[in-house]
Amino acid sequence: RKGVDLKTIEECFRALCCKGPPPARPEYDLVCIGLTGSGKTSLLSKLCSESPDNVVSTTGFSIKAVPFQNAILNIKELGGADNIRKYWSRYYQGSQGVIFVLDSASSEDDLETARNELHSALQHPQLCTLPFLILANHQDKPAARSVQEVKKYFELEPLARGKRWILQPCSLDDMEALKDSFSQLINLLEEKDHEAVRM
């Protein structure tokens, strides 16, 4: 019988015993805004594998830790009612990124309001340098506007030039696309992290 190579035993031992805990995933604090009915709570619940069936509109704010393979997103979702939106800016401090959810099948009036709110957020001193993920939700509805229509109507090209932003279509029916949108946002957050380290 051949003798067992001591080096092989040593390598096996090291692989088994010296592996150590996996590296900690980075955590990012994000703020999620959008009008009431845009679908913020339902999307976040689905990402957390909770049933969106019994979702109630957020009246103040709620916080969810949403785990992804390479990061954990601590998302502070702010209610979108008229009487709450004026207080949004009080909750912006400490945010590292922004999720803006809009109902792409909403009325012209609501879309106009959403556009004004997004413009305010993009220009707010505490948010203007942060990565934005803009989700055109309810793409499964017949009246949904396409991403191109949303981009044009919201005047994103001129307004957000030089900023880091992603505009993606989404619906509760397509979780893969939603997760992919968040992966792109995580990439932007990591890039911003690396830039801060280099400075």
Q: What is the pLDDT along the chain (199 residues), one digit of tens a residue?
A: 455 566 666 665 555 555 556 668 899 999 999 999 999 999 999 999 887 777 777 778 899 999 999 999 999 999 999 999 999 999 999 999 999 999 999 999 999 999 999 999 999 999 999 999 999 999 999 999 999 999 999 998 887 777 889 999 999 999 999 999 999 999 999 988 777 666 5
Output Rg (C-alpha) for the chain, integer angstroms. 21
Q: Show Cβ contacts of residue 165 under 8 Å, excluding neighbours closer than 6 positions.
A: 122, 131, 132, 133, 134, 156
Provide the annotated binding site for Mg(2+): 41, 58
Annotated binding site: 34-41, 58, 80, 137-140
Question: Is residue 128 within a helix (H) or strand (E), and if so which, with residue range?
Answer: none
Structure tokens at 28: 């990012």
Phi-psi domain of 49 (left: phi exceeds 0; alpha: psi -120 through 50; beta: other): left
To the question of pTM greater than 0.95 for the whole model, the response is no
Name the binding residues for GTP: 34-41, 80, 137-140
Contact between residue 115 and residue 154 where contact means Cβ atoms under 8 Å apart? yes
